[in-house]
Structure 1
Amino acid sequence: MENGILTEAQQKDAELITLLLDKIVKKKGFENIYANAEGYETPAKIRRSKDSEEYFIPDCTGEVNGRKSYFELGMKSDNERELVTKWRLLASLANYKHGKLYLAVPRGHMAFTNRILADYPIQAEVVKL
């Protein structure tokens, strides 16, 4: 698993990403799957800005009917500002590529995820893990 902004801070569990892949990504028929997990190619790094060396790495990406979608684990984070920045960026990219941003939320993180989505203009489909 590669570390970008937030990847290390959130302590994303490889088992949760595998669960995300099995329960959502593969079930919905996505192809060309890239995931930040063992056994998969890592998704493309998304630079924070032109001048920045910092980058975000989506948890997973996939395509269906030529539409690229992004998948993220919706988990609590102390660094809320960075999380909002990442989700807004991924939602914008997904919209640009006629796809969606899916937030897969493990047990215990739903209230946090819903609060972020209510407070900020982020277009995302929330899916329980």
Structure 2
Amino acid sequence: MIKADKDKYSDVLENSIAYLESRGFENIKADIDGYETPKSFSKVGSDISVTPDIVATKEGRKHYFDISLKSEKPKQLKSKWLFLNTLSNLKSHRFKIITARGHYKYTQDMLDAVNLSNKKPIKI
């Protein structure tokens, strides 16, 4: 989810956190009240920063989660996913996409467009 959509879809973010807690994830960091904000990654030489929607650990392994919802800026969302996927591969972490009802087809089309079709979205 991009920053412009954070306020609009805060309920989906809260539902996602509850889902992850019920699945045994710990040390959850999210960009909402009551949780620590995840680390942001900034591009050198510009003001662009990427922040995962949720960061959690399970069995000693860090997981990055991004929430996929229909967006006005799909190009920005695609580049965020590619960055998080690359970062997770470099550091032996995991990257997963969370989506909600009404956004499944959009999410799958976006994953196919950036050649991440091996990722299976978590449906909430």
TM over 0.5: yes
Q: Corresponding residue for 1:32?
A: 27
Letter in 2 for 1:21: I
Which runs of 5 or more structure 1 residues have no equivalent in the other structure? none
Give the number of aligned pairs: 123
How far does the alpha carbon of each residue in 1:88-123 deviate from its partner, in whole angstroms, 9 at most, with x for none?
111112222322222111111111100011121235
TM-score by length of 2: 0.87
Matched, 1:111 2:105: yes
Higher mean C-alpha displacement, 8-17 vs 99-108: 8-17
User: Root-mean-square deviation (CA), in Å?
Assistant: 1.9
Query: Could you tell me which of 3, 7, 21 is aligned with 1:7?
Result: 3
Matched, 1:78 2:55: no
Which runs of 5 or more structure 2 residues have no equivalent in the other structure? none
Structure with more helix by fraction: 2
The question of whether the paired residues in 2 share the 8 Å contact of 1:103 and 1:127 is answered with yes
TM-score by length of 1: 0.84
Which portions of structure 1, spanning 4 or more consecutive aligned residues, are displaced by more than 3 angstroms?
9-12
Shift of 1:21: 0.6
